[in-house]
């Protein structure tokens, strides 16, 4: 008499082991959450039973389970779209479509639409096809065949060398188990209903899956054979309450008298199928965990030339890898990024939720001494560091930089992609349009500007009743408030939601903003240097009925919309910030916001795609986020919080449930750049950006050059477009040492925030070893951790390796004391905060407020904005407000001529000296050199 193989018991032991493994992995990895998704089309009773069995097994094992139930009427395209969505979802590890499907749907096409990496049923052609190859390595084995093999092994049946016969040639069971038995060294034969003399074929192991009740009889079976019955057939049995009895494809009563082992029906193979489905889901989740943790970046080799060619020539000579490949290397799921051509992609904010349990990577902020008008290579150094860390020192490294403005690109400064062999590629795409974020910011700003003047016009030309009827028109006799209007009503203290309930007095308050035109601070913007738009008169057309006023244009990166983009922490946060932007004051002294004008939601819609950071790459193939472009001499001068946050998570290390980095956990570096000198972008980075983001850097890199330090020591004037004086090409240690006063002041400023400072000496060809040694000596004496000469412009990442090592040492040194602190408490009065910055960062003796500034202090305090941080708008060419004062000036008073409020962005910005918010073009702008070859489309002249 045959021994019954208890599939239920074996399956339970497997499921128990799966549950134990999942519990251990969840304890070790906070991110580990295996997830099985099943699609069921229609309401077949048997399909529903099978799905419920799988759901129970999943939940018992600790596997998250979701089901997509769809009607029989679903189209094939709709079903395929659903599968694509599940394929792209990184939180789903296993996908199964419950078969059979309605007749109008191609089952083969549907099952093969499932990503082979998530095909836990094992039916995809890639998995089945790989199974048939002698050395093939399928990602998943089909569940039932895999379960059969497990039954044989756990029963102690020897497979190798035995004669195995499989009756049934289905793709789901028969053919795969035939292959598996062969791969386990059995001599296997595949038979079916058309096989001649089937009863005469003898086997040591017999697997029957032919779909016919009790098809195989006992006298067909070789005595002592092992019988695996896969069939599940309902036959009539009036003795049963249900009227049916379940039997297999083998006549159990006769076969059990001959065989040595036999599986019952039910309770044999069936439970194993479900157990193997759970095992496959676990294997998929483990594989995904491994892949997502590795993040191996392929490096692009550089072909260095001497002399170094132009930036555009270098960029064009390097062939970037597809941005899709880079996204995959970073373990981004397909639904976490959107391609913008071959070289750019936008990364969705959803990645932050998926990776929230990771510990952030190391966070480095790059700043500089007070630069010459030519710039000291801060962007180039940022890229060089990222290339050194990522391509030469084995670290995962991101650069996070701002999007450049068309103003400097075609003006005098040029682009901002870096330079030489340390730049973002393709630099022409980086510098020209990118993904349209600048245009979205410009469109949003100008829509708000149009809304302001339009509202004043209509209020001046219409009665309360006419305004109310237009703002809340009856539709089929019913009036409704737009959602944004409810914010206005709440601000007015009106708690009514039905427009018809408003009294005439409430209607007047609601429809009339009563904007005082003399208080409007909002200007139109464009991303071009155009000095003739600094002051204009609008409303001169007859249709505006004489309602003219003076206004002007700012450049797009100086706008509050750009600052909001950079400082937003989510889409919802951006919506709130845009809505609360203050554009003017009403005649009673109350602030008027974008939401008062009803336009906050529309601004968000215009900028909804712009909030996603842009992914590009360096010349050596390491990742770069390019996002937001606020000017540092007017706005806060830093790239977006969201780009830094995403980069820190992508570069982060996996943690356990307690937040501890797992053994062997790998973390990387995020190198972010702040605009202009440390008195500008770095101060605003710490006191504004870090205050909002909650992120704390691990170190500061301060970029310096011999050229700039000589200028600060009293060297000849450096003028863009004019050749440098001979003094900058010959050794002069006395001039250099005097100029190092500026370097020392910036080191001291950075150290006030409690962080280590590494000086990067951006080396030029004329610099001597004595000059470099002097800078290093003075830097370390001033409190810098190290000062390292770099040649990344000439050599790429290889030229910044020593700087990279110094950064690694400083950030990993446990003895280095770090006590990050802000420069001031935001609750201090406005004037005191301005004074702290002027004295502590610039070295001023004090500040002097104009009468206008004093009025603004009083107004903003009255309006409740006194607790905002301060964003100083001043020249970047001096530590003071005066660009002619070089070095580390002393004994000066900072004049504050005006103070403006960027309430949406979240700061007040005092204007120091004669700051312009719209730059002008020089006599010979960069655009003279920019052109293209009409035959090839090749761009030249950009730098």
Q: 846 has which bridge partners?
A: 893
The CA dihedral of 180, 181, 187, 192, to the nearest 10 degrees, is: -90
Task: Please calculate the CA angle 920-921-926 and round it to the nearest 5 degrees.
Answer: 145
Q: 38 has which bridge partners?
A: 67, 96
| DSSP 8-state class, residue 926 | G
Point out the catalytic residue in the list 121, 229, 786, 882: 121
CA dihedral sign, ordered 432, 404, 554, 861: positive
Active site residue 833: no
Point out the catalytic residue in the list 40, 98, 318, 617: 98
Distance in angstroms (rounded) separating the CA atoms of residues 278 and 666: 29
Question: CB under 8 Å to 328, separation ≥6 — which residues?
Answer: none
How far lies 480's CA from each of 84, 349, 473, 488, 495, in Å?
40, 33, 8, 14, 14
Active site residue 54: yes
Half-sphere exposure (CA, 13 Å, Cβ side) for 725?
Answer: 13
φ/ψ region of 821 (left if φ > 0, alpha if ψ in -120 to 50, else beta) reads beta
Distance in angstroms (rounded) separating the CA atoms of residues 309 and 321: 22
At 550, give phi and psi (nearest 5°).
-90, 140
> If you count DSSP H runs as helices and E runs as strands, how many of each does the chain have, helices first?
32, 34
Distance in angstroms (rounded) separating the CA atoms of residues 593 and 564: 14
List Cβ<8 Å contacts ≥24 apart for 603-608.
Answer: 603/444, 603/447, 603/448, 603/561, 603/578, 603/579, 604/571, 604/574, 604/575, 604/578, 604/579, 606/440, 606/443, 606/444, 606/447, 607/440, 607/441, 607/444, 607/561, 607/565, 607/574, 607/578, 608/571
Token pair belonging to 116: 């082979």
| DSSP 8-state class, residue 842 | I
Token pair belonging to 770: 């004595």
Distance in angstroms (rounded) separating the CA atoms of residues 455 and 443: 18
Q: Quick one: how far is CA 42 from the chain centroid?
A: 38
Q: Quick one: how far is CA 666 from the chain centroid?
A: 19
Cis-peptide into 307, omega within 30 deg: yes
CA dihedral sign, ordered 351, 356, 361, 364: positive
User: How many other CB atoms are there within 10 angstroms of residue 572's CB atom?
Assistant: 10
Question: CB under 8 Å to 29, separation ≥6 — which residues?
Answer: 289, 654, 655, 656, 662
Active site residue 40: no
Question: CB under 8 Å to 175, separation ≥6 — which residues?
Answer: 128, 169, 190
Q: Quick one: how far is CA 116 from the chain centroid?
A: 26
* Kind and range of the H or E run holding 19: helix 7-28
Distance in angstroms (rounded) separating the CA atoms of residues 359 and 665: 10
Point out the catalytic residue in the list 40, 54, 413, 523: 54
Contact (CB, 8 A) for 919 and 600: no
Distance in angstroms (rounded) separating the CA atoms of residues 6 and 572: 56
Distance in angstroms (rounded) separating the CA atoms of residues 446 and 514: 21
Name the pairing type of β-strands 786-790 and 757-762. Answer: parallel
Catalytic positions: 54, 98, 121
């Amino acid at each position: 008499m045959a021994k019954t193989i208890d599939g239920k018991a074996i399956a339970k032991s497997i499921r128990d082991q799966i549950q134990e493994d999942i519990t251990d992995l969840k304890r070790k990895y906070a991110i580990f959450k295996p997830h099985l998704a099943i699609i069921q089309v229609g309401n077949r009773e048997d399909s529903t039973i099978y799905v419920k069995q799988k759901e129970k097994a999943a939940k018992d094992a600790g596997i998250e389970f979701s089901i997509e139930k769809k009607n029989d009427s679903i189209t094939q395209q709709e079903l395929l779209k659903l599968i694509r969505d599940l394929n792209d979802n990184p939180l789903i590890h296993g996908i199964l479509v419950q078969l059979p499907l309605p007749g109008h749907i191609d089952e083969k096409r549907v099952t093969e639409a499932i990503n082979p990496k998530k095909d836990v049923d094992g039916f995809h052609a890639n998995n089945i096809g790989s199974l048939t190859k002698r050395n093939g390595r399928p990602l998943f084995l089909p569940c039932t065949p895999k379960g059969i093999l497990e039954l044989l092994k756990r029963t102690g049946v020897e497979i190798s060398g035995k004669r195995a016969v499989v009756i049934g040639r289905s793709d789901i069971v028969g053919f795969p188990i035939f292959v598996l038995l062969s791969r386990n060294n059995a001599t296997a034969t595949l038979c079916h209903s058309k096989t001649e003399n089937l009863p005469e074929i003898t086997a040591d192991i017999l697997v029957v899956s032919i779909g016919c009740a009790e098809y195989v009889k006992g006298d067909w079976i070789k005595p002592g054979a092992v019988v695996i019955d896969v069939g599940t057939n309902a036959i009539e049995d009036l003795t049963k309450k249900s009227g049916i009895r379940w039997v297999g494809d083998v006549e159990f009563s006769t076969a059990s008298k001959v065989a040595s082992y036999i599986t019952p029906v039910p309770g044999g193979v069936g439970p194993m199928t479900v157990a193997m489905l759970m095992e496959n889901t676990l294997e998929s989740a483990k594989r995904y965990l491994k892949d997502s943790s590795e993040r191996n970046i392929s490096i692009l080799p550089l072909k260095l030339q001497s002399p170094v060619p132009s930036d555009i020539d270098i960029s064009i000579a390097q062939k970037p890898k597809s941005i899709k490949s880079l996204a995959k290397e970073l373990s981004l799921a397909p639904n976490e990024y959107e391609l913008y051509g071959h070289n750019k992609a936008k990364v969705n904010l959803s990645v932050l939720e998926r990776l929230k349990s990771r510990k952030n990577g190391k966070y480095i902020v790059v700043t500089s001494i007070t630069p010459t008008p030519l710039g000291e290579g801060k962007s180039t150094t940022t890229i060089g560091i990222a290339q050194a860390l990522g391509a030469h020192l084995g670290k995962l490294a991101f650069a996070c930089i701002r999007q450049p403005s068309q103003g400097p690109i075609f003006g005098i400064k040029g682009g901002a992609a870096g330079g030489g062999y340390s730049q973002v590629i393709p630099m022409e795409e980086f510098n020209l349009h990118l993904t349209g974020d600048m245009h979205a910011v410009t469109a949003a700003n100008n829509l708000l500007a149009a809304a302001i003047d339009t509202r004043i016009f209509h209020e001046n030309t219409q009665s309360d009743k006419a305004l109310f009827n237009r703002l809340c028109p009856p539709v089929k006799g019913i009036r409704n408030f737009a959602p944004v209007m409810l914010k206005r009503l709440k601000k007015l203290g009106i708690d009514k939601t039905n427009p018809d309930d408003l009294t005439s007095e409430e209607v007047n308050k609601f429809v009339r903003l009563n904007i005082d035109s003399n208080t409007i601070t909002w200007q139109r913007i464009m991303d071009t240097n155009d000095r003739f738009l600094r002051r204009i008169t609008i409303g001169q057309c007859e249709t505006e009925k004489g309602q003219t006023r003076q206004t002007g244009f700012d450049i797009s990166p100086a706008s509050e919309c750009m600052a909001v983009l950079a400082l937003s922490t989510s889409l919802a946060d951006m919506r709130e910030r845009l809505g609360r932007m203050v554009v003017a004051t009403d005649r009673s002294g109350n602030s008027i916001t974008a939401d008062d004008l009803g336009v906050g939601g529309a601004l968000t819609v215009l900028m909804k795609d712009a909030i996603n950071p842009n992914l590009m790459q360096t010349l050596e193939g390491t990742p770069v986020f390019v996002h937001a472009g606020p000017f540092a001499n007017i706005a806060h001068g830093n790239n977006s919080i969201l780009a830094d946050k995403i980069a820190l998570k992508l570069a982060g290390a996996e943690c356990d449930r307690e937040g501890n980095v797992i053994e062997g956990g790998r973390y990387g570096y995020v190198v972010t750049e702040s605009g202009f000198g440390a008195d500008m972008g770095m101060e605003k980075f710490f006191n504004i950006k870090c205050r909002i983001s909650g992120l704390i850097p691990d170190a500061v890199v301060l970029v310096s050059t011999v050229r700039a330090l000589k200028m600060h020591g009293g060297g000849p004037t450096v003028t863009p477009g004019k050749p440098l004086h001979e003094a900058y090409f010959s050794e002069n240690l006395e001039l250099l040492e005097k100029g190092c006063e500026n370097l020392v002041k910036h080191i001291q400023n950075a150290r006030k925030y409690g962080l280590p400072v590494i000086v990067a000496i951006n080396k030029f060809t004329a610099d001597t070893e004595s000059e470099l040694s002097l800078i290093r000596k003075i830097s370390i004496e001033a409190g810098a951790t190290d000062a390292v000469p770099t040649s990344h412009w000439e050599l790429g990442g290889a030229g910044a390796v020593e700087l990279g090592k110094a950064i690694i040492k400083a950030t990993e040194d446990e003895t280095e004391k770090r006590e990050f602190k802000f420069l001031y408490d935001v609750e201090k009065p406005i004037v005191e905060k301005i004074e702290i910055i002027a004295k502590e960062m610039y070295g001023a003796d004090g500040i002097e407020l104009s009468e206008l500034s004093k009025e603004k202090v009083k107004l903003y305090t009255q309006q409740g904005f006194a607790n905002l941080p301060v964003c100083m708008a001043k020249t970047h060419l001096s530590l003071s407000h005066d660009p002619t004062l070089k070095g580390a000036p002393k004994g000066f008073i900072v004049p504050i001529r005006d103070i403006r409020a960027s309430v949406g962005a979240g700061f007040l910005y005092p204007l120091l000296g004669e700051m312009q918010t719209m730059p002008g073009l020089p006599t010979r702008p960069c655009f003279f050199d920019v052109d293209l070859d009409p035959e090839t489309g090749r761009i030249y002249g950009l730098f």
